[in-house]
Structure 1
Amino acid sequence: MAAPAALVQYVVLRGDLARPPRSWPLGAVVAQGCHAALAAAHAYRERPDTAAYLEQGGAMRTVVLEAPDEASLMDLEQILREKGVEHLLWTEQPEGIPTCLALRPYPKDQVQRHLRNFKLLK
């Protein structure tokens, strides 16, 4: 019997938010990722993969990637929508700034190909 596929939640944050001219504090940028990850887990809480991921507790695997700017984040959002990959785009309010998106937890091999062009957030 094959081992179950590793579940992972991908979070893609805009890196430009932390750099000039925006220069958001690190905590504000991290909060965007937290909001997106929690909102995606909540929105897709009925999916078996989401439930299994949350049951892992301290063994949950989250990968945080960087989108260089708003345009690249929105391009990814369009691709994910077209491919039927369930995700949530987080938009900071009241400013209306798209800051981050998070996929619901998926088996890594089902979604990794859509995220190849993004590097780990540094």
Structure 2
Amino acid sequence: MRMASPIVQYIVLRKDLAETLKWPTGALIAQACHACTAVIHQFREEPTTQQYLADVDRMHKVVLEAKDEESLVSLAEKLKSENVDHKLWMEQPENIPTCIATRPYQKDLIQIHFKKFKLMK
């Protein structure tokens, strides 16, 4: 019998915010936190989200980097076209896209969308 794929949440942050625009590390972490909180709240009724939250000590997140705004927005458009629930976090009041977080999914259902992104360093 095949074991169920683990439930994971994917987070993709713009690498250029730190490298080119010189955002501090704390500001980047805040962007990821905003996106994660928003998408968990938005999709709190989804069974997979409830299952993910039922064992908070064993949550799995995969944090990846997008090279720039264009690659992040392009990913958001692809996720939308593939009906992958996610939140594109827009930093206000500047309206800058900074991060994407998916709602929790079984890893084998969505990992294909993130193959071209590297782990955040």
TM bucket normalised to smaller = over 0.9
Could you tell me how far 1:73 is from its partner in structure 2? 0.2
Question: How high is the TM-score relative to the length of structure 1?
Answer: 0.96
Could you tell me how far 1:56 is from its partner in structure 2? 1.4
Q: Which secondary structure state, in structure 1, belongs to the residue aligned with residue 89 of structure 2?
A: strand
Distance 1:54 1:15 in 2: 28
Are 1:12 and 2:12 counterparts? Answer: yes
Q: Which secondary structure state, in structure 1, belongs to the residue aligned with residue 51 of structure 2?
A: helix
Could you tell me how far 1:19 is from its partner in structure 2? 1.0
Could you tell me how far 1:65 is from its partner in structure 2? 0.4
Could you tell me which runs of 5 or more consecutive residues in structure 1 were left unpaired when the two chains were aligned. Answer: none
Distance 1:103 1:118 in 2: 14
Aligned residues: 121
**1:40-79 equivalence runs, <5 A:** 40-79=39-78
Distance 1:14 1:36 in 2: 13
| Structural RMSD (CA) | 0.8
Could you tell me which runs of 5 or more consecutive residues in structure 2 were left unpaired when the two chains were aligned. Answer: none
Could you tell me how far 1:91 is from its partner in structure 2? 0.2
Q: Which secondary structure state, in structure 2, belongs to the residue aligned with residue 32 of structure 1?
A: helix
Deviations 1:58-105 (A, max 9, x none): 100001000000000000001000000000100000010000010000
Question: How high is the TM-score relative to the length of structure 2?
Answer: 0.97
* Number of the residue aligned with 1:30: 29
Query: Moved runs in structure 1, 4+ residues, more than 4 A?
Result: none
Q: Which secondary structure state, in structure 2, belongs to the residue aligned with residue 41 of structure 1?
A: helix
